[in-house]
């Protein structure tokens, strides 16, 4: 058997239209493409992907979804004898620790590992909101089923340092996910429990809804106002800004609509 190769390929924010030319060429070289179905909600247009690969002059490889359990526990069993395996992941492949662990294990087994970056919410979200990226502190995830004070702790540390906070909102499926409205209510409940003065209903926050999809929406409003934010489905993220600087404030006021406009849109 020749050298075995693992490609970790970033799929971008929403669907195959976000794939770079380098990503497409990499997928075309693979024998097997496994699509990560759990780290985020991603619209896999398999027919469109096959069309794009054919346009590059390649016969499309086998393409199939891959669960978390298959990636974390049975990956080398799942791939069988395939020599060139691509894992196609929403966003950037190295944001998820699962993929870093997989890369290390593959290298230990003598595989060559190659990484193709993709557009991530970690940069696209702050950029779409017009906020300075280097003013962001630690990122936290607001979980779907687990009660945790960790997001509140992260927000407290970031606010003390006058840093913006990006909250990733967990999404298990199109029906099970944390919305922006859920997220602000979660933080308000933690404030009632902890009482450290970190979260106020009057704080201004930014909702990032379905970024990269046709119905994407970025809105601003207070925590109280965002608790009634229109919910178009996952994926969503919440940004809790620090004190805004002049250009940031101007961008938000001119280019990011108020959440009340989202309410009208959802009616």
Domains of the chain: which residue ranges?
A: 5-116, 121-266
Q: What pLDDT does residue 266 have?
A: 46
Give per-residue pLDDT as tens, 156-203: 999 999 999 999 999 888 889 999 999 999 999 999 999 999 999 999
**Average pLDDT of the chain to the nearest whole number:** 92
Q: How confident is the model at residue 60 (pLDDT cuts 50, 70, 90)?
A: confident
Give the CATH fold of the 5-116 domain: Cobalt-precorrin-4 Transmethylase; domain 1 (3.40.1010)
Residue 128 has pLDDT above 60, yes or no: yes
Q: Give the percent of the chain with pLDDT over 90.
A: 74
CA neighbor of 249 nearest in space, from 206, 202, 187, 209: 206
CATH 3.30.950.10 assigned to 121-266: yes
Q: How confident is the model at residue 263 (pLDDT cuts 50, 70, 90)?
A: low
Do domains 5-116 and 121-266 share one topology? The answer is no
Q: Which has more pLDDT, 152 or 39?
A: 152
- Rounding to the nearest 10 degrees, give the CA dihedral for residues 21, 27, 30, 35: 160
Q: Quick one: tokens of 223?
A: 């925590």
Q: What is the DSSP string of 12-60?
A: BSSBGGG--HHHHHHHHH-SEEEEE-SSS--B--HHHHHHHHHHTT---
Block residue for tokens 């230990």: 108
Residue 44 has pLDDT above 80, yes or no: no
CA neighbor of 148 nearest in space, from 165, 134, 167, 132: 167
Q: Would you call 219 helix, strand, or coil by DSSP? A: strand
Q: At what angle do helices 150-160 and 180-194 cross, to 10 degrees?
A: 80
Q: What pLDDT does residue 194 have?
A: 97
Q: What pLDDT does residue 267 have?
A: 45
Q: What pLDDT does residue 1 have?
A: 56
Q: What pLDDT does residue 47 have?
A: 85
Residue 262 has pLDDT above 80, yes or no: no
């Amino acid at each position: 058997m020749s050298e075995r190769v693992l490609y970790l390929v970033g799929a971008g924010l929403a669907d195959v239209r976000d794939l770079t030319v380098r990503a497409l060429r990499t997928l075309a070289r693979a024998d097997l493409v496994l699509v990560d179905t759990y780290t985020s909600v991603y619209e896999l247009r398999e027919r469109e992907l096959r069309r794009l690969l054919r346009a590059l002059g390649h016969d499309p490889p086998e393409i199939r979804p891959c669960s978390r359990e298959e990636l974390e526990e049975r990956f080398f069993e799942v791939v069988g004898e395939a020599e060139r395996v691509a894992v196609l992941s929403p966003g950037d492949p190295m944001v998820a620790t699962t993929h870093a662990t997989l890369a290390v294990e593959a290298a230990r087994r003598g595989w060559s590992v190659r990484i193709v970056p993709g557009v991530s919410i970690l940069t696209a979200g702050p950029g779409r909101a017009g906020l300075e990226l280097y003013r962001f502190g630690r990122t936290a995830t607001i979980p779907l089923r687990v009660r945790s004070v960790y997001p509140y702790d992260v927000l407290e540390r970031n606010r003390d340092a006058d840093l913006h906070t990006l909250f990733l909102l967990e999404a298990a499926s199109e029906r099970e996910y944390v919305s922006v409205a859920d997220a602000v209510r979660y933080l308000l409940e933690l404030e009632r429990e902890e009482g450290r003065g970190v979260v106020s209903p009057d704080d201004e926050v930014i909702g990032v809804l379905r970024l990269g999809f046709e119905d994407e929406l970025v809105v601003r409003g207070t925590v109280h106002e965002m608790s009634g934010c229109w919910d178009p489905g996952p994926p969503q993220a919440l940004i809790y800004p620090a004190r805004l600087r002049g250009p940031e404030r101007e961008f938000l006021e001119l280019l990011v609509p108020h959440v009340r406009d989202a309410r009208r849109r959802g009616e």
